Amino acid sequence: HADLALEQLRSKYHQLALLEQAVATSGQVRSMRLAVEDQREMFGDRYARGGQYLKQIGLLEGRVAAAWRHLLADEPGAFDDWYRLVQNADDAGQAILLANPLLDFDKLLLVKGRAGFASNWGGPNRLGSEMVVLSPVRPDGELTTVHQGNVSDMDLHWDGKRIVFSDGSAVWELHADGTGLRRVSAEDPPVTHYDACYLPDGRIMCVSNACEQAVPCTGGANVGNLHVMDADGTNERRITFDQDHNWNPTILHDGRVLYSRWEYTDAPHYFSRLLFRMNPDGTGQMEYYGSNSYWPNSMYWPRPIPGHPTMVSCVVSGHHGVSRSGELLLLDPARGRHEAEGAVQRIPGYGKKVEAITLDQLVTDVWPKFAAPWPLADPGTDLGAGKYFLACVQHDQWSSWDLCLVDVFDNITPIQAGGYMTPIPLRPRPKPPVIPSRVDPASDEATIYMADVYAGPGLKGFPRGSIRRLRIGSHHYRFAGNGDTRASSLEGGWDIKKILGTVPVHEDGSAVFQVPANTPIFVQPLDAEGKSQQVMRSWYVGMPGEVGTCVGCHERQNDGSPSKYTVAAFDRQPDQIEPWHGPTRGFSFDREVQPVLDRRCAGCHNGEPYESDGHTVAIADLRAKRLVWANDEQASDDEEDPNAKPKTRDVQPKEYSPAYIALQQYARRPGYEGDYHMPKPAEYNADTSVLVQMLKKGHHNVQLTAEEWERLYTWIDFNVPYPANWRESHRPPRDEQVKLRAVYKKLYANIDDRDEDPLPLPPIAEFEPPRPEPTRPIAPAIEGWPFSAEQAAQMQKLAGTVQKELDLGSGVTMQFALIPAGKFVMGQTDGFADESPQSVVTIERPFYMGRFEVTNAQYACFDPDHDSGVINERWKDRQRRGTPINQPDVPVVRITWQQAMAYCDWLSAKTGIRCTLPTEAQWEWACRAGTATPHYVGELESGVTPFANLADETARRWNHGRAEDGYDDGRMFTAAGGGFAPNAWGLYDMHGNAAEWCASSYRSYPYDANDGREDPNDPDAKVVRGGSWNDTLPFATSAFRWRYEPYKPVYNVGFRVVCDAGATKTIVAAAGDQ
């Protein structure tokens, strides 16, 4: 019985396997027909046997149909018929498809041998051990050896007579017949050169590891940047100054260079290998495809499609798993450059839409895999371009890399099996135009013309005049052997950040300024206070004497040209960078931020606990490191960080100062690998940091100077850097590494590298105690305030219908609770300074308020395109955008005050009921519901039962160590409303979850409704109330108030709606008045 069961199982397996093959064969025959019909239409008489091939295919189609009938009827012999049919289709397909007129050339250049691809974070490949020529280009063609020896890459000269290649160490050239071998790259200094290609002007471009940089995530010492050299190897010059690898340079039809660039300055490194383009002299470096995209993870082997101005083929791969091979894609950036916007087709994938997938090991389970595709086209006419390719194909994990003809109709036709790479037709091809060099070797500067900083989505909605200056920074990349993510910051940036200075933005939004050449530059748009309103997680490099242009802030290249906006900038003389409180230098916490702490904070924040209400309270130590660690015994490497609870990735005290570890908890920033999609405007605005909120709200009356504020803002905007250079990090380079990098920078880029020069520490500043806080008036007392929950419910019932519901359409509704009229004491005497003096406020008329914060589903009825997005994940090795907070039942966030008001206007028009945002007085009255305590649940004691979604222990590690001690509400980010008990008037989540916009402008107290703060046309910053999931108890009280400009979307701010049949008038009595 066992043998019988096994035989039956085996038979079933064979049947299923054959059924799978039958489906494939049916598709194979269809694909053959599509290709033959295409060639017959294109080539006409040149494809004389096209009709005969179609007849053969017709016979195969008839056999396929009959075989399916026999198979589905379970007729005897059906499986034998399919076996024969599969073989016949394979044989016919090879003969028919290889008759393609595009293969009518005599010789094909190949690399033969066992291919070994370098990792996706490595340098040169090993494609094989022999360079050969196949002639004719058919399965029975003869192979002739051209060169024996390791080949990592190769390129054919435009005349078809010379070959440039690398052996993985040096660049070589030989004649196409194998004679005349000569070394091109210099033997001294002993740096590696590879990935070489010819330039139209006769020079050679290649990748070199002379930058002496490490792959940041591994510390590997093999980062390669692009160099150019004369045909004889002289006059070598470095032209890219990139953090990580460049690969696969090739020439576009217009003479520019297309190449792959890996970059991850404060971005997820699994997904950030982009296609870039530039002029052969290094000018005009810009994205070609993939900026801010999770897909494609990697793009290798790019080639322009003949005759097409923008379309390219490339191989899309992942990060881990599979190296330098994967899916064959056609991309056209004219259709779009983000994610799959420009994806024309995946091969195979005829008729299927290409979907963007966010996945680390993107192609591990994808078969077949492709490498080194070469687009075919008819010389002189470009017929067939973008449809037919020679490519190296691995059909499954057991297969060799085979030379195949592939096409967009899903045909993959073998030509040679057994290990081949880099097919190049051995014939002349049109040489692209020579682009004259714009480099001035005598210059050490480049000029940047920015047409309009307000153009583009980066600052969408910002009014003109809101951006005053641009901060200019630069990256200082790490040395070999340093793969420690934390070497430059704690959950901050990957690299050392240098501060160069600032330049003005003119009234029309333009900026014209000069920057040091051969230097990776990043730009941050600053408001009037010096806070950055957007991040640039990339860099721009200007060549000596280059004049570069850009439109605006994160503008897409497809959206328009600078002339669309303004030409005024081009009539100005360039501004010089205004130094930022000293010369260009690495931004160091101990030099830039610590002196501020010494003067303003360290006298109280001295690490000494104090007594309060019978409890011992720990206090952060913000003193200079030199005072805290008087000797090494006090900073042993196995001492635990006292401020991390739980430990933050085992941070050791010697990695950073105690002040840095303490302060970074209060600075919101993107971290190492924030969401790679372009952030919303002002997403990381320093005003979203608790540190800034505390100080702006009058923390113990500490007053900072404008310069001190600038230093804090810059530290936050720079992603909380710690050391000024790598020698100051806990993973310093060796002296010989520093020296060698400097030698090569001078040799290949004419740069005097002083980035690792020792920098003196400033003297420890004397503490300047803040002035005593002014005495706050006693809270006014009024009859009937506060009142109990029972009284609140009775007031509500007497005022009218307690609840109502509005229909938003499509099954979506919004619930409201009636808030009665009344009188209360607004503000909090023992809260933050801006919550005082308290005042008596009367709400004259009842109004309805949303019981819940407006959800994503409710907001989508008004704006279906809005996306509340994600919350970043922490540390490196991110495999997705983040944690989604755009679920239908979760509060909508990342909307501006203007958008919230527009929603209310829409709702008013839809329902016929006047809807708007609550005034600040309405909001606090509704939140308190009769209570005078900081929170509507009454006085809080230690060990309080969670009553709101706040910054709790669940999120402590995510939140850099900042959380409400002992509070655990079980939620990390925004959550569906109603998870906690409502207040006495039935309102949910008035504390925490999402903070909420109010109609009122942010003005000082006492509250005065007649001072213009309730004017909806007032342009000032608008009040935000209630705190959020990212706030601790003191920042989520009934009286807590903060503000943002009305045009800024905020990551944790949403809103709720109020409705009233008539206007609600607010009457205010000053503190102490009755």
| Residue 608 DSSP code | -
Contact 987, 1025 (CB under 8 A): no
The confidence score (pLDDT) of residue 221 equals: 80
Question: What's the whole-number mean pLDDT along residues 100-110?
Answer: 97
Selection from 571, 463, 458, 459 nearest residue 507 by Cα: 463
Residue 568 confidence (pLDDT): 58
pLDDT over 80 (residue 557): no
Give the integer Cα–Cα distance in Å for 122 and 247: 10
> 3-state DSSP call for residue 849?
strand
For residue 779, what pLDDT is reported? 87
CB atoms within 10 A of CB 898: 16
Whole domain around residue 52: which residue ranges?
A: 2-97
On average, the pLDDT of the chain sits at 91
310 in any annotated domain: yes
Closest by CA position to 476, among listed 428, 527, 521, 434: 521
Claim to verify: residue 886 and residue 1006 sit in the same structural domain: yes
Look at the block and give the residue holding tokens 């959800």: 855
Query: Residue 67 falls within a domain, yes or no?
Result: yes
Q: How confident is the model at residue 20 (pLDDT cuts 50, 70, 90)?
A: confident
- The verdict on residue 561 lying in a domain is yes
Q: Is the dihedral of CA 346, 109, 310, 405 positive or negative?
A: negative
- pLDDT for position 652: 54
The percent of residues in the chain predicted with pLDDT above 90, rounded, is 79
Q: Which residue has the higher pLDDT, 755 or 485?
A: 755
Q: Are residues 343 and 392 in the same domain?
A: yes
Q: Is residue 22 part of a domain?
A: yes
| Tokens read off for 2 | 């066992």
Assess whether 905 and 824 both reside in one domain: yes
Which letter does DSSP use for residue 624 in this model? -
Question: Which tokens is 304 given?
Answer: 């322009």
Give a yes or no: residue 777 inside a domain. Answer: no
Token representation of residue 266: 């404060």
Residue 314 has pLDDT above 70, yes or no: yes
Last residue of a domain, one of 742, 773, 806: 742
The pLDDT value recorded for residue 552 is 74
Cα separation, 527 vs 537, whole angstroms: 19
Long-range contacts of 137-145 (CB under 8 A, 24+ apart): 137/103, 137/105, 137/107, 137/108, 137/415, 138/98, 138/103, 138/415, 139/94, 139/98, 139/414, 139/415, 139/416, 141/108, 141/415, 141/416, 143/112, 145/178
Q: Does residue 1062 register a pLDDT over 80?
A: no
pLDDT at residue 702 in the model: 95
Task: Please name every residue paired with 353 in a beta bridge, in sequence order, or none if there are none.
Answer: none
pLDDT, tens only, 842-867 = 999 999 999 999 999 999 999 999 99
**241 band by pLDDT with thresholds 50, 70 and 90:** very high
For residue 942, the domain's CATH number is: 3.90.1580.10
Q: Quick one: how far is CA 1063 from the chain centroid? A: 45
Beta strands in 756-834 (DSSP E): 803-809, 812-819, 822-826
What pLDDT is attached to residue 1066? 42
- Angle between helix axes 2-43 and 78-97 (nearest 10 degrees) is 30
pLDDT of residue 82: 77
Co-location of 611 and 541 in the same domain: no
DSSP string computed for 372-428: EEEE---TTT-TTTTTEEEEEEE-STT---EEEEEETTS-EEEEE-SSEEEEEESS-
| Residues β-bridged to residue 346 | 329
Contact 553, 679 (CB under 8 A): no
Inform me whether the pLDDT recorded for 971 exceeds 80: yes
Query: Which one, of 724, 673, 718, lies nearest residue 263 by Cα?
Result: 673
H or E segment and range at residue 999: strand 995-1001
CA dist., res. 1037 & res. 835, Å (int) = 10
239 belongs to a structural domain: yes
pLDDT at 928 over 70: yes
Residues near 1069 by beta carbon (within 8 Å), at least 6 away in sequence: 780, 839, 840, 841, 842
Least confident of 5-14, 83-92, 555-564: 555-564
Q: Within 13 Å and on the Cβ side, how many CA atoms surround 210?
A: 29
Predicted pLDDT at 634: 40
Mean pLDDT throughout 391-397? 96
Residue 437 lies in a domain: no
Q: Please answer whether residues 92 and 56 qualify as being in contact, where contact means their C-beta atoms are separated by less than 8 angstroms.
A: yes
Instruction: Give the residue from 897, 919, 900, 915 showing the smallest Cα distance to 1007.
Output: 919
Paired with 204 in beta bridges are: 198, 229
pLDDT at 406: 98
Span 664-681, pLDDT tens digits: 999 999 999 999 999 999
Q: In 192-318, where does DSSP find H-type helix?
A: none
> Is residue 78 over pLDDT 90?
no
Out of 97, 128, 152, a domain closes at 97
Q: Is the pLDDT of residue 947 over 70?
A: yes
Which has the minimum average pLDDT: 86-90, 102-106, 480-484, 609-613?
609-613
- For the cut 70, the answer to whether the pLDDT of residue 1074 exceeds it is no
User: How many angstroms separate the CA atoms of 455 and 562, rounded?
Assistant: 10
Is residue 90 domain-shared with residue 228, that is, in the same domain? no
**Tokens coding 562:** 């600078």
CATH number (domain holding residue 363): 2.120.10.30
Could you tell me which residues are beta bridge partners of residue 826?
Answer: 839
- If asked whether residues 590 and 727 sit together in one domain, one would say yes
CA pair distance 912, 109, nearest whole angstrom = 75
What does the angle CA 468 – CA 474 – CA 479 come to, to the nearest 5 degrees?
Answer: 160
Evaluate the CA torsion angle 597, 599, 600, 606 in order and state its sign: positive
Residue 240 parent element (H or E): none
Cα-Cα-Cα-Cα dihedral sign, residues 708, 711, 715, 721: negative
- Whether the pLDDT of residue 238 is over 60: the answer is yes
Please tell me the chain's helix, strand, coil percentages from 3-state DSSP, rounded to the nearest 5.
20, 25, 55
For residue 19, the model assigns a pLDDT of 75
Per-residue confidence (pLDDT) for residue 643, from 0 to 100: 38
Please tell me the predicted confidence (pLDDT) of residue 635: 40
CA distance 511 to 530: 16
- Mark whether 266 and 390 lie in a shared domain: yes
Does any domain span residue 781? no
Placement of tokens 């050896």 in the chain? 145
Residues 952-969 have a mean pLDDT of: 89
- The pLDDT value given to residue 392: 98
**Highest mean pLDDT pick, 3-7, 352-356, 771-775, 956-960:** 352-356
Element of type H or E holding 39: helix 2-43
CB 834 within 8 A of CB 1041: yes
708/615 same-domain check: yes
Cα 96 from Cα 385, distance rounded (Å): 19
Residue 794's pLDDT is 95
Same domain for 512 and 365: no
**Which residue did the predictor score with more confidence, 887 or 639?**
887
775-807 exposure pattern, b = at least 16 Cβ within 10 A, e = fewer: ebbebbebeebebeeeebbebbeebeeeeeebe
pLDDT in tens, 786-809: 999 999 999 999 988 889 999 999
Tokens of 102: 């595009």
Give me the number of domains the chain comprises.
Answer: 5
- First vs last Cα of the chain: how many Å apart? 98
pTM of the predicted model as reported, rounded to 2 decimal places: 0.92
pLDDT band at 960 (very low <50, low <70, confident <90, very high): confident
> How is residue 578 written in tokens?
């205004």
Same-domain status, 837 and 818: yes
Same domain for 462 and 333? no
Q: Which two tokens stand for residue 975?
A: 């959550």
> Which residues, other chains included, contact 354 with Cβ-Cβ below 8 Å and sequence gap of 6+?
329, 340, 343, 344, 345, 346
Among 405, 525, 434, smallest CA distance to 203 is for: 434
Are 693 and 1021 in contact by the 8 Å Cβ rule? The answer is: no
Q: Please give the residue that has the higher pLDDT: either 942 or 455.
A: 455
Same domain? 563 vs 622: no
User: Which of 374, 393, 425 is the last residue before a domain boundary?
Assistant: 425
Q: Where are the alpha helices (DSSP H) in 73-196?
A: 78-97
- Asked if residue 411 lies in contact with residue 364, where contact means CB atoms within 8 angstroms, the answer is no
Q: What is the mean pLDDT of residues 568-587?
A: 88
Name the pLDDT band for 1064 (thresholds 50, 70, 90): very low
Is the confidence at residue 459, as pLDDT, over 90? yes
Distance separating alpha carbons of residues 36 and 43, to the nearest angstrom = 10
Per DSSP, the three-state class of 1064 is: coil
Provide CB contacts within 8 A for 44, sequence distance 6+.
Answer: none
Model confidence band, residue 995 (pLDDT cutoffs 50, 70, 90):
very high
Q: Is 374 within 8 Å of 303 (Cβ atoms)?
A: yes
pLDDT of residue 567: 55
